[in-house]
Amino acid sequence: MIIAIDGPSASGKSTTAKLVAKKLNFLHIDTGAMYRAVTLYFLDHKVSLKNPTQIQHSLDNIDLKLSTDGKLFLNGRDVSETIRENPVTNFVSQVSSISAVRDRMVDLQRKLSRNHNVVMEGRDIGTRVFPDADYKIFIVADVDIRSKRRYLEMREKGVKISYESILKDLIERDRIDSTREHSPLKKADDAIVIDTTRLTIEEQVEKIIDIVQGNH
């Protein structure tokens, strides 16, 4: 079974998807983390986003592995924490908009899902990666609430950043993600929308579990 969860940045989809997968005993695949890992590789190797040959060569040298406990390995190195840092966050939307990157990641996401029950979350899961997913959920939330959530999350990690800069960043990421030419962020026609603006994480998880178990 494939459960596809899409939505904009900081809408709560990663935490929700992880908990839904845990409750159902499914494999959780965070596609955003995969794009972040590619971004980290590009930054580390100073890959020019204007050089298709360099991009392709880099993609050929990237090996991503997902452990059962949710850790992500880039060429054998655990990058689960590093990919959440600011340099990657500031660059990931630009890298994600490159068609060669998306093609490679979609291929890998489909391979990772073979022979598994999967909860996969991202921005184009229900529209491109798995258009025939058993369940499609599209999570939305007001940008102010999303910014507040991200601000609190960063503060808990000890990262000093202003609410205003997070709000500005999310508005820009929404713009890039929803207007990019290749696999833009958009709701699949048959997706169920869940507005998490006034929901706790537990309530979000419960809603999805109810949908999957036919209680909605």
Give the tens place of pLDDT for each residue, 179-202: 988 888 999 999 999 999 999 999
What pLDDT score does 197 carry?
95
Task: Give dist(CA 151, CA 142) in Å, integer.
Answer: 14
Give Cβ neighbours of residue 67 (< 8 Å, ≥ 6 apart): 73
Report the pLDDT averaged over residues 52-74.
93
CB 72 within 8 Å of CB 16: no
Q: Which pTM value belongs to this model?
A: 0.89
Q: What is the pLDDT of residues 84-130, one digit of tens each?
A: 988 999 999 999 999 999 999 999 999 999 989 999 999 999 999 99
Please, what is the average pLDDT of the chain? 94
Ranges of each domain in the chain: 2-209
What pLDDT score does 215 carry?
61
> Beta 72-74 vs 77-78: how paired, if at all?
antiparallel
Task: Give dist(CA 13, CA 5) in Å, integer.
Answer: 7
Q: How far apart are the first and last CA of the chain?
A: 18
Q: What is the pLDDT of residues 20-50, one digit of tens each?
A: 999 999 999 999 999 999 999 999 999 999 9
Report the pLDDT averaged over residues 41-65.
97
Give the orientation angle of helix 52-60 with respect to helix 31-44, to 10 degrees. Answer: 110
**By C-alpha distance, which of 13, 44, 41 is closest to 28?**
13
CB 146 within 8 Å of CB 9: yes
What pLDDT score does 68 carry?
76
Superfamily designation of domain 2-209: P-loop containing nucleotide triphosphate hydrolases (3.40.50.300)
Give Cβ neighbours of residue 14 (< 8 Å, ≥ 6 apart): 30, 32, 121
CB 122 within 8 Å of CB 129: yes
